[in-house]
């Protein structure tokens, strides 16, 4: 089968032909339908302070169909449609007991969604509701991040929310802020053509970055924002969020900027700003997101701007590294290639 492999920071990724995975007695073999390109796939394959391990298989936002089950598997069957968690915890440590496998002391990566097949244990797979397509299932992973972030922020309903950006993470925040009962939601975007998408996901208004200041945004929100979600990940945006948030408000850093940005602690102290740096989601939040999609409260298709074959992934990533803008790009391995065997 074909799979995308990380060859080193700043280097083009490789599409390699490898042996088909064989499921163990307690594993599922999943034929991958879709896998989304995450912002971390761009930043962590580029030259910088953080990167994936060289030689690892890439892709963690994926869904697919079970095509084979190990002899000890009873919870799932051939033909089941699933979205898969990209990591697996031991299930015994403090992190796992709290539902946060990302902090497991023996964490195992289940990346490899930019490929044709993958073997995973049943507890890493979430059954998709019958009303949800496999294509939409690949959006559960990024959408769960917004739910986790707002849960960390202690959102109770009625809050004024300011979202910096209009990419996938921003849309996730907008959607869940609306579902969780936000009072007002305003997003800032440099992209005029994304305005309608942000509004459709639940925002009350979308303002341009270069025409707004804290005063005009406060007027649009009905007051200074209680929560500011920084979803851009560029230098300067964390300070921008601190400038906008109300005293004793919360700043959520969703952009995962890997560049240094000086933060003056006294500046935050004078406002008693609370700053959060969420990473991922709990297993429960992943399943909750799938159920929210099933309810029809969100239109996942709005988020996908392009669907490409696996062979186009290296060139597409190079363009994104160079600064090309896109919403969510999905890789569909079935669009090309020989398949299994």
Q: What is the pLDDT of residue 15?
A: 97
> 154 and 269: one domain?
yes
Is pLDDT at 340 greater than 70 in this prediction? no
Distance from C-alpha of 246 to C-alpha of 227, rounded to nearest angstrom = 8
Average pLDDT over residues 31-50: 90
> 102 and 186: one domain?
no
121 in a structural domain: yes
117 in a structural domain: yes
Q: Residue 242 belongs to a domain with what CATH number?
A: 3.40.50.720
CB 166 within 8 A of CB 174: no
> 204 and 321: one domain?
no
136 in a structural domain: no
Give the containing element (helix H, strand E) for 137.
helix 134-137
pLDDT confidence bin for 341, thresholds 50/70/90: very low
Phi, psi of 263 (to 5 degrees): -115, 120
pLDDT confidence bin for 295, thresholds 50/70/90: low
Q: What is the pLDDT of residue 293?
A: 80
Q: Residue 91 belongs to a domain with what CATH number?
A: 3.90.180.10
285 in a structural domain: no
> 170 and 241: one domain?
yes
260 in a structural domain: yes
> Which residues form the domain of 102?
2-131+296-335
Q: 276, 307, 325: which is the final residue of a domain?
A: 276
Is pLDDT at 44 greater than 90 in this prediction? no
281 in a structural domain: no
User: What percent of the chain shows pLDDT beyond 70?
Assistant: 96
> 12 and 108: one domain?
yes
> 164 and 266: one domain?
yes
> 196 and 303: one domain?
no
Is pLDDT at 49 greater than 90 in this prediction? no
pLDDT confidence bin for 339, thresholds 50/70/90: very low
- Judging by beta carbons within 10 Å of its beta carbon (0-12, 13-18, 19+), is residue 338 exposed, middle or buried? exposed
> 177 and 118: one domain?
no
pTM, rounded to two decimals: 0.91
284 in a structural domain: no
> 163 and 267: one domain?
yes
> 152 and 69: one domain?
no
Would you list the DSSP string of 219-235? HHHTSS-SEEEE-S--T
Structural domain total, the chain: 2
Structure tokens at 238: 């964390």
**Per residue in 158-209, pLDDT tens?**
999 999 999 999 999 999 999 999 999 999 998 888 899 999 999 999 998 8
> 61 and 101: one domain?
yes
9 in a structural domain: yes
> 150 and 104: one domain?
no
């Amino acid at each position: 089968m074909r799979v995308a492999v990380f060859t080193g920071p700043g280097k083009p990724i490789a599409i390699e032909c490898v042996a088909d995975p064989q499921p163990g007695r307690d594993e599922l073999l999943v034929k991958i339908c879709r896998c989304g390109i995450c912002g971390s796939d761009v930043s962590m394959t580029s030259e910088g302070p953080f990167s994936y391990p060289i030689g690892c298989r890439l892709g963690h936002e994926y869904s697919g169909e079970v095509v084979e089950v190990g002899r000890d598997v009873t919870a799932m069957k051939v033909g089941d449609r699933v979205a898969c968690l990209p990591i697996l915890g031991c299930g015994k440590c403090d992190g796992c007991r709290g539902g946060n496998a990302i902090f497991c002391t023996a964490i195992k990566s289940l990346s490899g969604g930019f490929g044709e097949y993958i073997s995973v244990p049943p507890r890493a797979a979430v059954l998709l509701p019958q009303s949800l397509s496999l294509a939409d299932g690949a959006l559960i992973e990024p959408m769960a991040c917004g739910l986790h972030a707002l849960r960390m922020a202690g959102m109770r309903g009625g809050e004024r929310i300011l979202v910096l950006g209009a990419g996938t993470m921003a849309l996730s925040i907008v959607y869940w802020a609306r579902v969780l009962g936000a009072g007002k939601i305003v997003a800032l975007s440099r992209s005029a053509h994304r305005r309608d998408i942000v509004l459709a996901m639940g925002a009350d208004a979308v303002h341009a970055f270069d025409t707004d200041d804290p005063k005009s945004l406060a007027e649009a929100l009905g007051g200074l924002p209680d929560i500011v979600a920084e979803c851009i990940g560029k230098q300067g945006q964390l300070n921008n969020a601190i400038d906008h948030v109300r005293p004793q408000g919360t700043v959520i850093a969703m952009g995962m900027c890997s560049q240094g940005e000086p933060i003056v602690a006294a500046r935050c102290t004078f406002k008693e700003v609370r700053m959060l740096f969420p990473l991922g989601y709990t297993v429960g939040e992943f399943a909750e997101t799938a159920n929210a999609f099933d309810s029809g409260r969100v239109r996942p298709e709005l988020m996908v701007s392009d669907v490409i074959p696996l062979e186009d992934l290296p060139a597409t990533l190079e363009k994104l590294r160079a600064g090309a803008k896109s919403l969510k790009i999905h890789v569909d391995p079935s669009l090309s290639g020989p398949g299994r065997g």
